[in-house]
Structure formats: structure tokens, C-alpha cells
Amino acid sequence: MGATQAVEAIRWCRELAACSEVRGTTTRTFLSSPMRDVHARLEAWMRHAGMDTYIDHAGNLRGLYPGATAGCPRLLIGSHLDTVVDAGPFDGVLGVVIAITLVDLLGGKRLPFGIEVVGFSDEEGVRFGVPFIGSRALIGTLDRELLDRRDAEGRSVADVIRDYGLDPSGIDGVSLQDANGCVGYLEFHIEQGPVLDRLGRSLAVVDTIVGQSRLLLTFRGAANHAGTTPMAMRRDALACAAEWIVAAEAMAADTKDLVATVGRINARPGVTNAIAGTCEASLDVRHANDAIRTAAVSALVDRARQIAGRRGIDLQCESRLDQKSVAMDGTLTALMAQAIESSGAPVVHMASGAGHDAMVMARCVPAAMLFIRSPGGISHHPDEDVREEDVAAALDAGESWLTLLARSRSW
């Protein structure tokens, strides 16, 4: 059961991966030209499966499969259609493909709730440096400040929406008008990590999406000649940042389940024969417990100040994101565990170390997530992959979950 559909789902993802801004790789940012092709292909399939489709004014692809009665509530199932730079073929898009497949498998059967499939326009935040544009619009938190944000070419979010043939002034109409009319939100997603692969399991029920802190630390010393400035007289911003990066790694390793990452540095003037006068370093800190996360951020910044003070370096810290951890809905999550158990497989529960649209949607409606094994734990990379048996297991769990949900209450 689900094996043939799993093969087709994987084929869909690999074909859509060719819809890219860069030939030979997969790069598809917010409402870029290749998104039109993705929308066109998926819309045709959605209509064939019995959905009424449209692109909303935030660029989200939406398809509604009616329920058994007029005015019945609806269930949202979705994920994102954008990618990181040089991405793999499954992050985000597999969740949309699975959602459409589940509707297709109904074969016209009506449930006591409608199903709305959503392909979010932006989750990764690559183009504008802010993630979740699509899901923020759906819950009504895409504000004027974000619409005015500009990309590297100087074009605003509103400009890009307009150029795509949509109307940024219609953003308010994108949001869920009556959240009480929604059963909830379900997202299928590859794990993007090695846990399931290590356990030898296909699926995991996500209980919590961890909180995230993102900061930009700017170390300011003094640029000078690399050959004529004695080592003891230097105020090297890059060397200061490097000492702190190593210390940050060690500090994070001492706290269970905490991860801290410096993923980007920018040293200036950035030439071989000059001491770096300025160095910017990003900091990404994550943990399921917000108190532990915020305490860790404070300790990491304090350590940076200590190192900078000893080296005669000025330090500036700017918070870029403070996202609280988000618990998934207990009822929907329990039904997913029951759905997996019905297939005879053991249930794995885990926290998501990555952010997902489900954490945004959970502010407005009950949300649940199902993880699918990532072989080798590889994601955000062209080698990202899935196994047919794991996608088949996800489809089976999804079908069982829909049945259990339909039976779970009086509609």
C-alpha cells in the first residue's frame, strides 16, 4: 500500500528540482521565475485530484478539496516550495507532493472536513533574509515592514509580489479569516538530520520545534599593515572572533541538546596583507527549552565580551531572531502516533532542530508534523535523498491519520 504512489512522489520531487534559477542545481527563491513552472505543474495535478486552486497574494499555491457538506471545517496540509541555494530535491516540496497524493488517493471520497493543500511561497528566507513569508501571510502577520524589505537587487517584497502578477495590497485577504473553521495543520517533512537513519526507522512524530536565537556579532579592532605591525601591538578583529568561535563551540558542547553555530563570518578589509579591522560573525543557537536557550545566548555573548575586552576589541551584538520553541498539538500528534502504530511500526518521538512552517501555523491553528528519514542525515545539499519505503510509510500513516481524524469526533 502506497508503494506505487511513493515512486511517483519521488519522481515529482526530482522533476520539480529542475525548476531552478541556476541550471544544473536547485535554487528557487521567493517568487523567482522558476516558481511559475512549479505552480503550473502542481496546479494541474491538484485540479485533476478534484481541488479548486489559486495563487494567493503572498504567492502561496492553494488547493481546496471540498468536504462532505457545505460549510464544513477544513484541514490544512502543506509545506514550502522555495529552496536554499544549491539545494536537494526533497526539502519542503516533498511535503506538498505528499499532501496532493493523499487527496488524489481519496479518489473523490468526501470526508467530514475539507482539505486545503498549501505550497508556501517562502520558508527558507534566502531572498530577503527573513523566513516564513508564506506562512506569516496565512496567519496574518506579514506586515508593512516586511513588505518593504529589499533583496540584494534593491527590490522589495511588495515589488516582487507585484511583478509576479499579484497584489501586495491584498495581503490581508490571504490570512485565515476564521481559524475556528480549521481542524488544524499537518506538515510532512524530511528530518534533515541523522537520528532516524541511526535508529533504522522510517518516521518520527514531532512533539516540539525548538526555539531559535540568531544574532550578529561585530568585532571592531584596527586594520593595519600585515608586515609592519608587531603581533603584540595588533587589534585583530578576525583573530578575536576566531578565539570566540572556538570557545562558543566548547560551551555549547557542554549543554545537552544545545546547538550553537557560527555559520558566516565577514572580515574587512579582507585582503591578504592587512590585519582585519572589522569582523562580523553570525550566531545561531537552538534548544527545545527556551530558558536553556536564552541562558546559553547570554553566556555566549558574555564570553565574546570577555575575549574582546582582553584583546582591546570593541563588540556590538544585534539580535536578528528570537523564536520561542513551539509544541505541536497533543491531540493531532497522538492520532499520528496511533496511525503509525496501526502499521505495526514502533513510534519514534522527537524534537525538530530546524524551523518549519508548522511552528508559524501553530500560533493560529492546532499543528502536527511527521518526519521522514533523511538517509545519511543530509539536507540543504544536492545529495539530499529519501527512500521509497519511507515515503510509502508516510503515505500509509497519512491515510490512516485522515481516517482516524474523521472518526475522532462528531462533525
Does one domain contain both 50 and 191? yes
- Which of helix, strand or coil describes residue 268? strand
pLDDT at res. 308: 98
From 323, 353, 381, the end of a domain falls on: 323
Q: What is the DSSP letter of 311?
A: H
How far apart CA 123 and CA 126 sit, in angstroms, is 8
Does one domain contain both 133 and 262? no
Does one domain contain both 297 and 382? no
Q: CA-based angle 184:204:94, to the nearest 5? A: 70
Does one domain contain both 100 and 229? no
352: part of which helix (H) or strand (E)?
Answer: strand 349-352
pLDDT at res. 181: 87
218-256 pLDDT, tens digit each: 999 999 999 999 999 999 999 999 999 999 999 999 999
From 266, 296, 323, the end of a domain falls on: 323
Measured in Å, how far apart are the chain's first and last C-alpha atoms?
Answer: 28
Does one domain contain both 258 and 298? yes
* Long-range Cβ contacts of 102-108 (<8 Å, 24+ apart): 102/77, 102/395, 102/398, 102/399, 102/402, 103/46, 103/49, 103/50, 103/51, 103/63, 103/65, 104/5, 104/45, 104/48, 104/49, 105/5, 105/395, 105/399, 106/50, 106/65, 108/50
Low-confidence spans in the chain with pLDDT less than 70: 1, 177-179
Whole-model pTM? 0.90
Does one domain contain both 51 and 128? yes
From 323, 351, 366, the end of a domain falls on: 323
How far apart CA 120 and CA 148 sit, in angstroms, is 20
CATH number for the domain including 150? 3.40.630.10
How far apart CA 345 and CA 390 sit, in angstroms, is 12
Does one domain contain both 134 and 79? yes
Supply 325's cell numbers: 520553541
What share of the chain has pLDDT > 70, as a percent? Answer: 99
Does one domain contain both 310 and 329? no
143-185 pLDDT, tens digit each: 999 999 999 999 999 999 999 999 999 998 999 866 678 999 9
CATH number for the domain including 249? 3.30.70.360
Does one domain contain both 191 and 248? no
Does one domain contain both 199 and 220? no
Range of the domain at 128: 3-209+325-407
108-149 pLDDT, tens digit each: 999 999 999 999 999 999 999 889 999 999 999 999 999 999
Does one domain contain both 105 and 180? yes
pLDDT at res. 179: 65
Domain count, the chain: 2
Does one domain contain both 144 and 33? yes
Chain centre distance of CA 298: 25
pLDDT at res. 176: 87
